[in-house]
Structure 1
């Protein structure tokens, strides 16, 4: 395209949800309710893990960091979406859009890395319990968390800076309810085919390789569980692993479909549904999955109550 067609307006327009007005009212109300519930549940989980000494273990330390990431992830776009709806304003500045993309990618990638490391924690606990305290020392746990945050931030910074440097021509309407990487790239008036390949490569590194490592870890874990002689130990291990695997499906399923499809197959409605299932519902479901099926967390909650 001719660079003369490049618009001088710096704001983007978020078109919001592909629903009629009646359904949008119901949806926004539901999203705010989910947001409040997610804030409450994740905050309670973090406070319980922090306040009770018997929960000061590597598994719960990593879980508290996952809850913190969930809090920040859902807070990075739901309040803005609600403000836009109630104020009637749909514009977002280029700086604010880039900031939203950066935090969204940072937290999403950091969670993928952390969930992978949590599967390693379960592998050591079940397959090599005698060395668990040595392998999963407090220092190692801090390094795992730091690696998750740093990996997410660095990867996100590179992609955000590169995606936002593309000039946008003509319409600045974003077919989404948040500033999202693939939606912004559709507005670029330069050839982005090379960068789209880089996005696919990054998705393989961030999504497929960690997912392969998780599944490999659990293949070994389930073999070890089958050889356990204690029924109680087997049931406890299965409960913990099934909870983590449920969270893995909630995180990786929508992300793989969104970021590993060719751009020609992207559909605004489908992407919005996947974002509802992933970054919105998962932060609310995550503490429920881990707490309702975990006797230690339930016991700590009963003591508080």
Structure 2
């Protein structure tokens, strides 16, 4: 994802750049600009997905830059990193179309909380995922996959969680917007691209399973759920949970190893999820997962 940082202070450019780099995403392309005029030219030529702009700059302010981007009909998201902090100024920026305002001085967590929803809405975690997946060849009878029972799944996932969890099978349901964003793991045999197993964590399941190894208060978890954002550290821990599920399934397979092809987040398009989990002829089990703080999290495991 292309990000343009605009600030007339070189030092601040690099502070913001380092903050973005600490997000840990490998596929961020970051370019720096020292004025609104320079940023406008770069935006026309380079076409970034997101601009982080200072407010007060010589020649062209950040608000004026937004207006020029709009005139040029450039579909680019913009947020401010600025000394402005008054409610009046923040309202002015958002009324003009800014997604967020981060007030200087700021800490890395504040910057991350502002930027992460944009990254996830742009699908930054699934750059090469074909959500429908390739057609799977038939699995030989002696390698037929057996989806795990709820008690086996619970025992395995308990090894990753600090709080006690309960896992039980639940009725299959059509995907809902309330499940988003969700974490999706695609698995195949021996690193082959044919998809054999799909695992989906809705946002509640992701938060229940993904906060196992990181300290995260319930207040922060509630905020993330309400804002429909899965923090990066939670996504990282969800990868461990996906790996644990593959190990449970692998117990039933003798000759081949089930390995993860890709992990992604799906944030906005519930129809894509419906296509993924609603295909005819698939074997699918839905599980409910809960702990003392949350219930009704959903895990979906299916074999295409």
Shorter-normalised TM-score: what interval? Answer: under 0.3
Q: From the two aligned structures, give the one with the greater helix fraction.
A: 1
Instruction: Tell me the TM-score normalized by structure 1.
Output: 0.26
Structure with the larger RCO, 1 or 2 (CA within 8 Å, 6+ apart)? 1
Q: From the two aligned structures, give the one with the greater strand fraction.
A: 2
**Larger gyration radius, structure 1 or structure 2:** 2
Instruction: Tell me the TM-score normalized by structure 2.
Output: 0.26
